Each structure stands twice: as structure tokens, then as C-alpha cells.
Amino acid sequence: MAGSIACLIATGVMSSAAQCEPAPLVLNDAEYFEQPGFNVVVFSNWYNGLFGDSKISGVELIHHGERMATNGDIRLNATPEQWDLIPEFVSRHVDPADNSIQATLRYPDHDFTYTIVAKPQGGKIKISVVLPAPLPPALAGKAGFNLEFLPATYFETSYLADGKPGTFPLYPTGIKEINGQSAPQPLAEAATLTLAPEDDNRRITVTSNAGKLRLYDGRSKAQNGWFVLRQILPEDKSGTVLEWNLEASTTANWQRAPVIGHSQVGYLPSQLKRAVIELDKQASLKQPATLIKIAQDGSRDEVLSQVPTAWGDYTRYQYAVFDFTKITTPGLYQLSYGETVTAPFVIGEDVYASAWHATLDHYFPVQMDHVLVNEAYRVWHGASHLDDALQAPVNHQHFDLYAQGPTTDTAFEPGEHIPGLNVGGWYDAGDYDIRTQTQYATVRDLVNTWEEFNIKRDTTLVDYDAKFVDLHVADGKPDVLQQIEHGTLALVAQYEAVGHAIPGIIVPDISQYTHLGDGITMTDNLIYDPSLDKHEANGLRSGKFDDRWAFTSKSTPLNYGAMAALAAASRALAEHAPALADNALTIAKNAWHTEANQQPDLFHHGNTTGGGLEEEKFKAAVELLITTGEAQYADAITALLPALRQAFGDYAVDALRVVDYMGKSYKQTIQQVAERYQTQQQQKTSGNPYQVEITEGGWAGNGTILQSAIIDYYLHKVFPQQFDGQGVYRALDYLYGTHPDSDISFVSGVGTQSKKVAYGMNRADYSFIAGAIVPGVLILKPDLPENKENWPFMWGQNEYVINVGASYLFTVNAARHMAAQKQ
């Protein structure tokens, strides 16, 4: 009845209940079904091949602008976790004449093929499972159609199971599913189940034509699990073996509320100031946007009001731009459009002054491995992984993009302890591995930040003798140099232990990999000794097999990348840690000589063995030339120019940094290539109203946007007459809230409203790490921009990565530097 009243009021018609029938679901040009406030997407996205199930596939439901259900598909578990078996995608067919979409998939190991068909019936959608042959006996009682609902959407709501009420738990209880051992306990069983019956914005009703629906809480099995609605497939049947009818509550003429994309940090007075307003495609653009100045007594002055300029369509929305560049008076402001009012932000000369502090003061030290990290009354983590590391087994492919080739490429046997690897390095991301490719990228960006901007901020105490780090306690040493030192220690350790850079160090077992909590609890910090009983320890060694593995296959590109970081670090650390600086440079020069006199090792796997050979060699040549001035490295740079011309974006920062060390001809070449690059970038950034390159892969693009900003800074520095450097400010505006889907700052703790629920090591607490940067807006096919602020476990949107923190540090300080030069 509540839904009917809402429909009547929205339509302005009170005379006939027939007016309240939901609008029919229509197959649109983007190949999904839509009605006002509700969309059904059918296999437009596919499971992420890098990391298994990433919750972006199958039948998906978008309800009042929010994707709230996914993975409508046949699965072999009631509450599947990330690495449980998924089917292979075969084909997808859209039939406009029949108004249907069908997808065919298979489990090849079980010789099991099936088709899922989605077809509207008025305002409802029927989902059918069709089998060409009966279910294989081995899958009886295992194969079922699942549809997963986002828990955060249904927290503090109820459900009705054949009329029997229940409430969705805020926290999971009960028996978890253990594959092959124990079955989970359903929250409810019914032929008809209604989610959130009390809420017109979230109500979904699912009815099975035959058999029982079961509702499970997947969070009992894994913290990133979803609420799963499941029905087991019948045995000994073929053809249409399962049918669900699904209906969502909708409001006639529903429109998504406007989003006013703007910088939560604020703007320099002289800066271009563009708010990008994201609107439902049915919304009118006739009302004005307003800039409001807030006074000390709370009074509000409308300093600018005008109808924004229509930009056009991007993704599923239309956009307009409100330019308030001409407002330069320092102060506190808000923006409004219709009933949407933003959080307050600043216009002032010092908006970037502290925007990088949380990243350096907090995020970087929190990520430091092999040390205890303390903050006032809180210990972020203990001194973890002091038992690093065991030699990884040969011919082994790991579950997180690491692999060991046919030999160890070291003097160590598989399973043997490699001494000396338990120093330095950062937790790579929201997990606890030391990925070398990330480590050396981070070191190099930190060195560039130090050399370009000479920031000497000191708020962190680092005591290596005590393996102790204390936040908010100065120790008389620039924090940037201490972080460079920490990354360099890990890289040097690899060469001293095995003679070359290694892909990385990571736990061997998936139960450790999914660990959520203090890193020190992942191992006993005692070196594994297989001669001891698994419960035996002697104070130095134990029989507990919990040590991380070192993947050690040689890769020449990886080696070049590491030697580039070591050569760069040797400059920055010359006074701070002279012995380490000398050692780093010696290792880099010797490694260069070794690689020059042998055939390259091109072992490659995932994203752990370095970039392209020419690209990584160019990095090493640039850093060694800047450090030593030796002609051999200039010659190597010249020889690599053909590769640079083909992919300037991959080489740009290094190519520009070394201009003063090369001849006039080199600079002319770089200028010509840079002009072509500028044209290419303009094409990439012109397709959206934010004027940055928004990538559309399985990992959102804040890292790409920051890298483009760094390139823009160096282009402006080297060729100021041709390049204005404005990409630096656009990138920061984007990170701080001028982006699709919301206006939240993607830098946790930075800006008035920032990312507070993210995929860090504390993600199980629905919390954040100040100063860390998430990947950002993921463009889900065909047209949904998404960043979940209420659900941390979407890694492609929400996972912190250490090298993006380093890129951000550089970019903010670049903006500060450019602004100071104008004054």
C-alpha cells in the first residue's frame, strides 16, 4: 500500500490504482533493461580475470541509481568467496525483437553448460535458467542460481519471507560455509522474499515459480561476503529448470538527485574553478547554480548565480559546468543547485599547504613493514615478518600475480630461508606483500619530490635499532628521506641476498593472504625449520610454516627498474644515510654492467616482473646519468629514443627530467614528441566534462590521472611557453571531488568530506587510513560510474596502493610550487 500511495502522489493521480502500475522495463540502446529508478544489467561485465570474483558480473540490479545486487549466476557454493570456482563465459545474445538478453556459460571441469535468460514482463523481470541436459550428478545439491545483494544497502532494514518477518543483521552470526565440510545456515527460506518492504527506495521482491529461495549471509564466510539469495537447481531436469520473477519498487518520474562535483579542499584565488554538475538525463538544466559565501556569523551571501553551461552526456548522465573562476576573494564557500548543497570549501592562497601532510605523516609510516608503528595510544601494527623469507617453489603460480619459473635463479633451494630480507619496504596495498615493482616506483617518486621541492617536514620518529616508528614525534630528520631510506633498504637487501631484484615477497597460503588485522599476527616471526614439530620453537626457529615466500625469478626489466630507484636514492640519501647511499649506487652501477654483458632475462608474469624492457632500461639510464654524469648512460638514452617516440607517455617524466643532461638535438626531439603527446591527451580528456583521462578497466584511474599531472608539471617546467601545467590542478580537483558519482574527496582525511570507508588493512572495521588515496570511480559497463563509500571491499574502487601515495605527494607539492612561482 505504501508503494501505491507513493506512486499516486508522484503522478498526481488519485483516481485509479491502475495509474500505479510500474512502468514497463524496456531494453535500451545500451543493452540493459530500464524503467524509472530501476535497471537490470545482464552480463555486461565479466568476472575480473586478475583476482577472481570482483562482484561485477552476471545479472546486476541498479535501484534508484545504486548498484545493489550482482553476480546473478550459477555458482557451486551458497556463499562464494573470492577464489571459489567461477564459470567460463561463452556468449551473450541481445534480442531486441524478443525483448530479451541471454548469456551462456559453462563449468568445463564438470562438462556443464547452461543459459541464463532475462526477459521483462511488464514492470517485472523474469530470470530463467535453461539447461540443454540434466545437471551432472557431481553437481547435484551444489549448483544453484545465486543473486548477491550488497549488505550495506540493507543494513537496518527488514525482510519478509512468505510473509514471515525478519531483519538483516548488522553483523554476521552463525555457522559459516566451509567448502566440502559444513553448510551455512540460511537466514530465511521462502517461495517469495521481499527485501526492505518498508522502504520504497530499496524494496525488491523475488518469487520462485517452483522450489525454495534461501537467504544467506556471506559475511560469515568472509568479511567481504554479500547477502546471497539462492535456489538449488533441480536434478534430472533439462530445459527451463528455474524461474524467478523480480520486481522493484519505483516512483513514477523518479530522477537521481544532482551531484555537484567540486574540490573538497578548495581553490587558489587565481585558479580555474569549475564545478561539474552531474544530472539525471531527464532533469532540466534551466535552474541556476549558486556560489554562496559564508560569514563568521553564519550569514550567507550569494556571490554568483547563473544557469550552468550544458556540457552533454557522459556515461548514463548529463552534465553541466558552473564556472566561478572570477570569484577570487578568500573565504569559506558552498555551492548549490536545486536542493543539493555542497559541504563548505575554501578559496585561499594556502589551500594546498597542508593537503599532503596526512599522506606523509600518516599513510606512509602506517604502511612500513618490519617495524612496529605506534600512534599515541594506538598501535597500528607490530614489527611483522621478521622471519622473511623462504625461497618460493619452482614452477609455481601464485594466486596474486606472482610466479616462480623453472629455477630459483638463486643459490637457495625451494623452501630454504633466504637471510637478510627482513628489512625495509612498505605493505604494497591493503594486503601485506612487498611487490618490488611498487617499491621502486615509490622510491623514485619520493626522490623526485625531495629534489624538486625540498620538503623537510619532520613529524615521525624512526628507530631501526628498536624496530619502532612513532607518529607525531619529530626526530630531527626529514620524513621524506626516512621513507626513501625505508624503501631503499628493501631493494638493497634483495641484491645482497640473491644478487638481483626479485618480483616480491608474499604469504604462501590464501588463508594468510585474506588476513585482516595486525600484520604481526600473520607469522610467529620465527624462521621456519621443517625439522621441528609444527608446535615446536626454540626462540629463533619454529616448525610453524607461516613464513612469507620470496619469488626470485630473474627479470631484466625488473632489475633495471630497481637499479633506477637505487641510483636515484643514492643522491637523496648522500647526507642522510651516506653508507646506504654509497652501497645503493655501487649496486646500481654493477647491475647495469652485468645486464650490459648478458642476454636479457625476460621472465614475465602478471604485474610483478617489471614493465617493458626498453622503458625500464630508460629509467635506469636516466637516473644513472643524473647521478654520475657518465656518457655511457647518455648513449643508452639516445639509443632508446625510437621506443620513446612510440610511447612517450610511458617515458615522459624521465625524458623531461634529463633534458639538461643531454644535447640540444635531444631537447628538440622531446619537444616534437611532446607536442604529439599533447594532442593525444586532449583527445583522451575531451570525452568527459572533467577534462582528465578517465580509464575504464577493472581498476579505477586515479593513479593514471596523477601520473598525467606529473607529466604536465614537467612539460610546463621544460617548455613553459607551450604547456601551461593546468593538468596539475585538474588532477587535484578530480581527486578532491570533481568527479563522477559523488563529490567526495578520494584522499582519506583530506577535504571537508573525504573517503572514510576504504580497502586498507583496517577495512574490516569500515574505516580508513588518513592520507591514503583510493583508485576512484570505476566505470562499470555499459555506463555506470561507481565508487562505493559504504562498502570498503571493492578493491578496484577502494584499495589504497603505496605508489599512488607517492605520486600524490609530488602532485600537491607541484601545485604549491607552481602557485608560488606566479606570486
User: Cβ distance 519 to 761 under 8 Å?
Assistant: yes
Q: How far apart are CA 433 and CA 427, in angstroms?
A: 6
242: which strand partners? 129
User: What pLDDT sits at residue 83?
Assistant: 87
> Positive or negative CA dihedral for 529, 531, 536, 538?
negative
Residue-range definition of the domain harbouring residue 108: 2-248
CATH classification at residue 84: 2.70.98
Residues in CB range of 392: below 8 A, 6 or more apart: 398, 402, 404, 408, 414, 508, 549, 550, 551, 552
CB atoms within 10 A of CB 179: 15
167 occurs within a structural domain: yes
Residues in CB range of 716: below 8 A, 6 or more apart: 723, 724, 725, 728, 818
User: What pLDDT sits at residue 49?
Assistant: 65
Please identify which residue in the block is written with the cell numbers 584565488.
269
HSE-up (13 A, CA, CB side) for residue 2: 9
Q: Taking the chain (823 residues) in consecutive chunks of 10 residues, what is each chunk's mean pLDDT?
A: 41 38 90 96 85 89 97 97 92 96 97 98 96 97 98 97 98 92 95 97 96 96 96 97 97 93 98 98 94 97 98 98 98 97 98 98 98 98 97 95 96 98 96 96 98 98 98 98 98 98 96 90 95 95 97 98 98 98 98 96 95 98 98 98 96 98 97 96 96 94 98 98 97 98 98 97 96 97 97 96 98 97 82
Q: Residue 759 carries which DSSP code?
A: B
**Which of 508, 595, 586 is closest to 550 using CA atoms?**
508
Q: How far apart are CA 707 and CA 805, in angstroms?
A: 11
User: Cβ distance 726 to 811 under 8 Å?
Assistant: no
Alpha carbon 339 to chain centroid distance? Answer: 31
User: What pLDDT sits at residue 109?
Assistant: 95
User: Cβ distance 318 to 337 under 8 Å?
Assistant: no
- At 412, give phi and psi (nearest 5°): -105, 145
- Reading across the β-sheet that carries 549-551, which strands appear in turn? 390-391, 549-551, 504-506, 434-435
Residue count of the chain: 823
User: Cβ distance 112 to 101 under 8 Å?
Assistant: no
DSSP sequence for 395-439: SEE-TTS-EE-SS-SSSS-TT-B-TT--S--B--SSS--EEHHHH
User: What pLDDT sits at residue 180?
Assistant: 87
460 occurs within a structural domain: no
User: What pLDDT sits at residue 6?
Assistant: 44
Spell out the alpha helix ranges (H) of 458-545. Answer: 479-498, 510-513
Please give the C-alpha separations between residue 698 and each of 84, 105, 291, in angstroms, as whole numbers.
19, 21, 36
Taking every pair of Cα atoms in the chain, the longest distance, rounded to a whole number of angstroms, is: 88
134 occurs within a structural domain: yes
Please identify which residue in the block is written with the cell numbers 652501477.
589
User: What pLDDT sits at residue 2?
Assistant: 40
- How many domains would you assign to the chain? 1
717 occurs within a structural domain: no
Q: How far apart are CA 14 and CA 5, in angstroms?
A: 9
Please give the C-alpha separations between residue 126 and each of 65, 118, 713, 717, in angstroms, as whole numbers.
21, 6, 54, 59
Please identify which residue in the block is written with the cell numbers 613464513.
547
**Identity of residue 376:** A
460: which strand partners? 471
**Which of 788, 795, 805 is closest to 749 using CA atoms?**
805
Q: How far apart are CA 429 and CA 769, in angstroms?
A: 11
151 occurs within a structural domain: yes
Q: How far apart are CA 619 and CA 501, in angstroms?
A: 15
User: What pLDDT sits at residue 603?
Assistant: 96
Grid cell locating 169: 543483521
92 occurs within a structural domain: yes
Grid cell locating 768: 580508513
DSSP sequence for 612-675: -HHHHHHHHHHHHHHHH--HHHHHHHHHTHHHHHH-HHHHHHHHHHTGGGS-HHHHHHHHHHHH
88 occurs within a structural domain: yes
Q: How far apart are CA 663 and CA 665, in angstroms?
A: 5
162 occurs within a structural domain: yes
Strands 372-375 and 468-471: what pairing?
Answer: parallel
Q: How far apart are CA 127 and CA 117, in angstroms?
A: 6
